[in-house]
Amino acid sequence: MDLGQIISGEREKLGLSQRALADKAGIRQATLSSIENGGDVKIGTARRILLALGMDLAVLPVNNVRGKSPAAERKIEIERVRGHFKMRRQKLRGLLDSLSVTQIRLVREINQKANAGYLAELWEDFLRLDKSSMKRALDSERFHDMAWQSLFQANPFIVAGVGSWD
């Protein structure tokens, strides 16, 4: 689909005549007709028409320096972040093996004093679980509908000094 078809389609969806859209964009009706029929258009003119339609013009790279599309790059970054937080969940899972019930209670007390808000409440719920339930919770992507990536922003184990990401 070319720009002229996009403009024509949006204009028709909005119930505008060529004259009405041309007036709204500050161009001649003949210019708009030419563009809708595949004629050349200056970027400034295209942007004025699109803005009159409630749209805007964006220029995006087709390929970045590594030769991947922006969508492919986003997908790679999303997978990198998911992997990063999966590793953090695994480290916390391993840490749970080495902590006693007393140490977990201490972490819970520190969480109650040092953290506040919704994340602290979620960690409080987590710290009330027995160890096996904690490990099962860490194996899932979310805990009480909150992604671990968000929960780790207020990780009470790190705050309590009984764990690290290293």
pLDDT of residue 59: 74
The answer on 78 and 24 residing in a single domain is no
Does any domain span residue 166?
Answer: no
The answer to whether position 124 is within a domain reads yes
| Alpha helices for the chain (secondary structure H) | 3-13, 18-25, 29-36, 43-52, 70-98, 101-114, 118-128, 131-139, 148-151, 156-159
The answer to whether residue 64 scores a pLDDT higher than 60 is no
User: Taking Cα atoms as reference points, which of 106, 111, 103 lies closest to residue 159?
Assistant: 111
Integer-rounded Cα radius of gyration of the chain: 28
Q: Do 36 and 100 lie in a common domain?
A: no
- Does one domain contain both 104 and 131? yes
Q: Are residues 39 and 75 in the same domain?
A: no
Read off the DSSP letter of residue 147.
E
Does 8 have pLDDT greater than 60? yes
pLDDT of residue 107 exceeding 90: yes
The reply to whether 80 and 118 lie within a common domain is yes
Residue 89 has pLDDT above 60, yes or no: yes
- pLDDT at residue number 104: 93
Q: Tally the domains of the chain.
A: 2
The span from the CA of 62 to the CA of 130, in Å, is: 51
Task: Say if residue 60's pLDDT is above 80.
Answer: no
List pLDDT tens digits, range 141-164.
889 988 888 888 888 998 888 877
pLDDT of residue 66 exceeding 70, the answer is no
pLDDT tens digits for 92-105?
Answer: 999 999 999 999 99
The domain of 89 spans 70-159
95 and 16 fall within a common domain: no
For 139, residues 6+ apart whose C-beta sits below 8 A from its C-beta are 89, 93
State the Cα torsion 102-106-116-120 to the nearest 10°.
-30
In a domain, 28, yes or no: yes
Q: What is the pLDDT of residue 63?
A: 60
